[in-house]
């Protein structure tokens, strides 16, 4: 999943060759163009979106080079990002880049048709992208409380800091997941089970209940190994001054 900035023909082609399903969120659908094979006549609904046909000869002439590129990425000889950057820098002068673009046009056209026809496809892409945005928001909040910057010049130091950020985020996710399960079992014992269709909307990425900055007061006795803190049985009531 990716946002509209990643809707590129080369990305569609490489994802298909490497065995991935690329499912980006398609913005400005009316500005997107579909590409059909020669001999196919578009229906009246999609005819305004159809552009130049697929160049099958170009794909056939460079098919061996396309497979060699995919094998190089799959085996780790080169990285996909490096090849996309190189191919994107001179797409009109490189025949391999042109052949890869034609393959990407086929895959992008098929995906765009599914996107138009299937509302669930659109909802699924938005849902998955929202998960990534929430995770990024959590890490921004942890990283010096939304004001952090990587000031380390060394690559190893930057890696250590990024690893520490992932560790703290993982601890918060583990804490939330553990207590969400405990809360659900508590509601079931009270005869108020959470409906299954609502479970998919629960996320362990919230942090509003966690003190990320300020003073840490260790007044409560520590919990023993294997024990959990008691659940809060009631929500705090708003004050009269700040409803």
154 part of a folded domain: no
53 falls in which pLDDT band (50, 70, 90)? very high
Q: Which one of 117, 139, 170 terminates a domain?
A: 117
pLDDT band at 81; cut points 50, 70, 90: confident
Confidence of residue 16 (pLDDT cuts 50, 70, 90): very high
The number of distinct structural domains making up the chain is 2
Same domain, 112 and 127: no
Q: Are residues 141 and 94 located together in one domain of the fold?
A: no
pLDDT of res. 54: 93
Let me know whether 51 and 145 are in one domain.
no
Residue 72, class by beta-carbon neighbours within 10 Å (0-12 exposed, 13-18 middle, 19+ buried)?
Answer: middle
One domain for residues 65 and 140: no
Asked whether residue 112 is domain-assigned, the answer is: yes
pLDDT (average), residues 133-147:
82
User: Are residues 87 and 140 part of one domain?
Assistant: no
- Residue pair 35/134 in contact by the 8 Å Cβ criterion: no
**How confident is the model over 160-193, as pLDDT tens digits?**
888 988 999 999 999 999 999 998 998 888 888 8
Using CA atoms, how far residue 186 sits from 195, 201, 235, in Å, is 14, 19, 15
- Count CA within 13 A, CB hemisphere, residue 231: 13
Please name every residue paired with 34 in a beta bridge, in sequence order, or none if there are none.
Answer: 50
Residues 54 and 140 in one domain: no
Exposure string over 75-108, b if 16+ CB within 10 A, otherwise e:
eeeeebeebbeebeeeeeebebbbbbbbbbbbbb
Which range marks the domain in which residue 61 is found?
Answer: 4-117
Q: What is the pLDDT of residues 82-117, one digit of tens each?
A: 888 887 776 566 888 899 999 999 999 999 888 888
Mean per-residue pLDDT over the chain, rounded: 83
pTM for the whole structure: 0.65
Q: Is residue 127 part of a domain?
A: yes
Establish if 132 belongs to a structural domain.
Answer: yes
């Amino acid at each position: 999943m990716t946002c509209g900035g990643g809707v590129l023909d080369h990305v569609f082609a490489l994802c298909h060759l490497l065995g991935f399903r690329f499912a980006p969120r398609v913005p400005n659908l009316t500005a997107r163009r579909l590409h059909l094979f020669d001999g196919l006549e578009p229906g009246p609904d999609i005819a305004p979106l159809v552009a130049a046909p697929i160049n099958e000869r170009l794909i056939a002439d460079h098919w061996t080079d396309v497979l060699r590129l995919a094998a190089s990425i799959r085996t780790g000889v080169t990285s996909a990002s490096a090849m996309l950057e190189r191919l994107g820098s001179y797409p009109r002068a490189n025949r391999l880049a042109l052949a890869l673009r034609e393959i990407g046009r086929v895959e992008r056209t098929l995906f765009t048709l599914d996107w138009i026809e299937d509302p669930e496809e659109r909802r699924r892409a938005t849902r998955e992208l929202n998960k990534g945005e929430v995770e990024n928001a959590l890490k921004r909040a942890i990283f010096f409380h939304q004001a952090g910057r990587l000031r380390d010049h060394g690559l190893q130091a930057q890696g250590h800091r990024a690893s520490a950020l992932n560790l703290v985020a993982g601890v918060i996710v583990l804490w939330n997941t553990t207590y969400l399960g405990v809360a659900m079992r508590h509601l079931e014992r009270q005869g108020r089970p959470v409906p299954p269709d609502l479970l998919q909307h629960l996320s362990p990425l919230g942090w509003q209940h966690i003190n990320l900055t300020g003073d840490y007061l260790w007044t409560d006795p520590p919990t023993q190994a294997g024990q959990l803190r008691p659940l809060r049985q009631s929500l705090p009531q708003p004050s009269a001054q700040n409803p």
